[in-house]
Amino acid sequence: LAKTTQPISMDSYEGQEVNITCSHNNIATNDYITWYQQFPSQGPRFIIQGYKTKVTNEVASLFIPADRKSSTLSLPRVSLSDTAVYYCLVGDDYGQNFVFGPGTRLSVLP
Amino acid sequence: KAGVTQTPRYLIKTRGQQVTLSCSPISGHRSVSWYQQTPGQGLQFLFEYFSETQRNKGNFPGRFSGRQFSNSRSEMNVSTLELGDSALYLCASSLVGQPYNSPLHFGNGTRLTVT
């Protein structure tokens, strides 16, 4: 499991674009990069997954540079309902070291 | 398609008792994994089942156990409850069990309080 580093918290205003970067310097060849969103007292929700370059879906974009040592989750025009914790996961297997990091707590202000 | 269902939603138990939590995965998903989430330790992996077999296990004591049935539904059991077992227990299912190229779909968890 590749160790990941994310900012602990971020603030934004409604309507802005938010970019959350995750560092994963020891990513392995087979590793995918997956982002989850979690609201209080709910399970994490899958947002987006990628392997390289750029992936886009209806809610977010994921940018992965050529060296894959980092990735950036981009949330366009955030709203108050995007206030949540965002987790970046990198790896390809379960095991005793399979741990979600502390994530990034995003607060969207009016 | 129905999501992952966990029951019960809330549970209050006394120290020393045991508890069983249930998880119904998304139809067609064969892998079920369990997690404990606390404010201090974050989200920690307990174990993963695939086709009724435990394939992976996290770093938890033997008081934590689980099983998976032929219809992929899963249960986890905690015996001899301790105060520190109070947590949100989450279950997730995925198609093939690789957590990264087969995304996890989580239920909303069971909130266990041990008094």
HEC per residue, A61-109:
EEEECCCCCEEEEEECCCCHHHCEEEEEEEECCCCCCCECCCCEEEEEE
Name the pLDDT band for B83 (thresholds 50, 70, 90). Answer: very high
Name the pLDDT band for A100 (thresholds 50, 70, 90). Answer: confident
User: In chain B, which residues have their Cβ closer than 8 Å to the Cβ of A96?
Assistant: 45, 57-59
Q: Which two tokens stand for residue B40?
A: 């201090």
Contact in structure between A34 and A22 (CB atoms under 8 Å) = no
- Percentage, residues of chain A above pLDDT 90: 66
How far, in Å, CA of B3 to CA of A108, rounded? Answer: 27
Mean pLDDT of the region B67-81: 97
Distance from CA of B18 to the nearest CA of A (A): 23
**Mean of the per-residue pLDDT values for chain A?**
89
pLDDT at residue B99 is higher than 70 = no
Q: Which two tokens stand for residue A69?
A: 């040592």
**What's the confidence (pLDDT) of residue B66?**
97
Distance from CA of B16 to the nearest CA of A (A): 25
**What's the confidence (pLDDT) of residue A61?**
97
Interface-testing mutation among B7, B26, B33, B43, with chain A (most A C-beta atoms within 10 A): B43
**What's the confidence (pLDDT) of residue A79?**
96
How far, in Å, CA of B107 to CA of A13, rounded? Answer: 29
Between strands A104-109 and A9-13, the pairing is parallel
pLDDT at residue A73 is higher than 80 = yes
Residue B84 backbone phi and psi in degrees, to 5: -70, -5
Task: Provide the 3-class DSSP secondary structure of residue A38.
Answer: strand
pLDDT at residue A98 is higher than 70 = no
Q: Higher-confidence residue: A65 or A96?
A: A65
Put simply, the answer to whether B58 touches A96 (Cβ < 8 Å) is yes
Task: Name which of B92, B100, B46, B9 is nearest A43 in CA terms.
Answer: B92
How far, in Å, CA of A96 to CA of A23, rounded? Answer: 21
Task: Provide the 3-class DSSP secondary structure of residue A58.
Answer: coil
**What's the confidence (pLDDT) of residue B97?**
62
Name the pLDDT band for A95 (thresholds 50, 70, 90). Answer: low
